[in-house]
Structure 1
């Protein structure tokens, strides 16, 4: 005796086994059914008469950013220049911290203005230059007495002390200032 096949004498008593299809089987869907998200689906819950709530745009304080960024560059240059002189060779890598300190007010307060990342790059390089000049000033200060000769000796000793690695640090300051300013800008 054989078991009845489905559909001839009624449903089979055997449990259904897994069936493999090369194409998904057609489900029992009502006539005219369209899946959600597909074209032709009626939109529910939308009333064009009700206004949508407006998202508040963050306020742009570009003026405050332009005021705080040079102050941050001055502070970063002073911190770099007043570091212990025995650590002067390893201080170049602090240009990343200087770039971050300058880029925070520009990016967070200024927003996504296209002029702010180049300004952040220039201010970061200026902070590095100021820090190096302050270091040279501290070295030369003991030898000179008048302010004019102090400035001349500081600049000549800074030029004499420049190395190719310093150019790499300036490149790091420029790119770091640009990229960090652009990345800290608030997204709208």
Structure 2
């Protein structure tokens, strides 16, 4: 026996079953509604902090001036150290690079030229320090003022070792990387 189809002989006695739609039914809640307590629901009493509209001022000229001053001062400090400690001072190249990178990164911001400038100034500080050491050594052995520069350069060239190339590389890479890192923090 077959049950009559609804609407032909009257209502069917069977219970209602799930309806199948070929198109989704219209939503019963408004678009974008999120129930309270669910992820994405607006939080009451929360007032977001507005971002700064004015960026930090970049003081590139001041940063470069301070980096050149740090180059000269750290080079002279390196060169005026006691002569008996001259062999162990090469590792201070990273400290010189840090002193040069600090003003460039903090004051100069994310300028792309500043890490390259630090990569040049850090080995220059090491060179100034070594030349100052040899100038003191040439002066200590009694060079005349006319031959002092020649004697300094001669003793510097004869005293160069392969380890000095490593120190110059440490200063170069350290100046570049430390400037980039301090610029990204600020």
1:44 Cα deviation (Å)?
Answer: 8.6
3-state SS of paired residue (1:148): coil
Matches within 5 A, 1:98-109: 98-109=96-107
1:186 Cα deviation (Å)?
Answer: 4.8
TM-score (structure 2 length as normaliser): 0.73
Unaligned runs of 5+ in 1: 1-29, 46-51
CA distances 1:113-137 after superposition (whole Å, capped 9, x unpaired): 0000010011000000000000111
Give the Cα–Cα distance (whole angstroms) in 2 for the partners of residues 119 and 53 of structure 1: 32
The correspondence for 2:119, drawn from 101, 118, 121, is 121
Q: Which residue of 1 aligns with 2:110?
A: 112
Alignment RMSD (CA, Å): 2.4
Unaligned runs of 5+ in 2: 1-26, 45-49
Larger radius of gyration: 2
Moved more, 166-175 or 140-149: 140-149
1:53 Cα deviation (Å)?
Answer: 5.8
1:187 Cα deviation (Å)?
Answer: 5.0
Instruction: Give the length in aligned residue pairs.
Output: 149
Q: Which residue of 2 aligns with 1:167?
A: 165
CA distances 1:129-172 after superposition (whole Å, capped 9, x unpaired): 00000011111102344333100000010000000000000000
TM-score (structure 1 length as normaliser): 0.72
The correspondence for 2:131, drawn from 125, 130, 133, is 133
Matches within 5 A, 1:6-17: none
